[in-house]
Chain A
């Protein structure tokens, strides 16, 4: 018994956000906030001699990029409360200082199941991130639970 909703909303772009150039300090602060010790993310000099030839962002940096519109205007509502159910991140290229990142957001999937807190609806929002060279940087799938 499939959940009933207007399936045409799947895949439609609801937000496009261009971010200001990535600052080196953004990357260093983000790594510090996680307690990162990997010199590739924390030490410019050491990173210079590493596989990327320079400082790069800690892997989950892409999860901190927030689109202008977090959710579509016509976000389906299946419940009163929303929770963060999880993230799936695919990483294709590192984020470097000076990168101008662009994010395109769509509703990727909607489904239903029951969990510890009752009947739950999952809305998967997909953020596709590219850089100034048009190179694919990451895909972040955000599973939002509603109940």
Chain B
């Protein structure tokens, strides 16, 4: 059962991460007081992992481990939850030019949910594309809090959510072990599997949670050296 879940992270299966899934779980166990997570969702870039079975790790660490994908569209990057065979046949996840509207419609029809991530980021976020293109239909929520964002990128999302009434969730977007769970999503109801996650993400009743601990900016001792 899980209420607090990191909905966005990358393991060594992604081309730009070297983090083993178990290293993430060990890190969360160590940081339990700071980042009280109950689960993680692996969102590998441009692919879906049909092979790995994480049940043993779930038992060992008492964590829910689910699998999803981060794919690329003309409206930016989109997280797809509830990936199944039908979706994998319908879409080539490695295609970096997927059609966002088609993806959102078809994923919903096939039993999943497709949700734009880091909407405030240049080029790969929704907000910039909404300036030039019509808004997408059927978006239920966006990643309002992303652990990899630069200054201002998360802040830009508030207006988008106000305007379109999207639900807001959070994720760490961790590529390094030590960043797992710095941002996450708290659900009102317990989640025990992918079906329940999809249902909850569609229905609402969740909010982003920020577990980042800001280090007091230390003053440089000297220039250069």
Q: Which residues of A contact B (CB under 8 A)?
A: 1-2, 35, 37, 111-119
One digit per residue, 1 when the CB lies within 8 angstroms of any chain A CB and 0 when it does not, for chain B 93-135 equals 0111100000000000000000000000111100000000000
Q: Which residues of B contact A (CB under 8 A)?
A: 15, 45-46, 72, 76-77, 92, 94-97, 121-124, 224-225
Contact of B123 among A1, A111, A118 (CB under 8 A): A118
Contact between B124 and A116, CB atoms less than 8 A apart: yes
Kindly state the separation between the CA atoms of A115 and B45 in the bound complex, as whole angstroms.
12
Task: Specify the main secondary structure of chain B where it touches its partner.
Answer: loop
A111/B122 contact (C-beta < 8 A), A1-B94, A2-B94 known = no
**Chain A residues near B124 (CB-CB < 8 A):** 114-116
**Chain A residues near B77 (CB-CB < 8 A):** 114
Kindly state the separation between the CA atoms of A119 and B123 in the bound complex, as whole angstroms.
9
Kindly state the separation between the CA atoms of A114 and B129 in the bound complex, as whole angstroms.
14
Kindly state the separation between the CA atoms of A35 and B96 in the bound complex, as whole angstroms.
41
**Chain B residues near A116 (CB-CB < 8 A):** 121-124
Q: Report the 6 A-B pairs with minimum CB-CB distance, sorted nearest first.
A: A35-B225, A1-B95, A114-B72, A116-B122, A118-B123, A114-B96
Q: Which residue of A lies closest to B222 (CB)?
A: A35
Kindly state the separation between the CA atoms of A126 and B100 in the bound complex, as whole angstroms.
35
17 pairs from A and B in contact (CB 8 Å cutoff):
A1-B94, A1-B95, A2-B94, A112-B96, A113-B15, A113-B46, A113-B72, A114-B72, A114-B96, A114-B123, A115-B123, A116-B123, A116-B124, A117-B123, A118-B123, A119-B96, A119-B97
Contact of A111 among B15, B72, B121, B225 (CB under 8 A): B15
Q: Which residue of A lies closest to B223 (CB)?
A: A35
**Chain A residues near B94 (CB-CB < 8 A):** 1-2
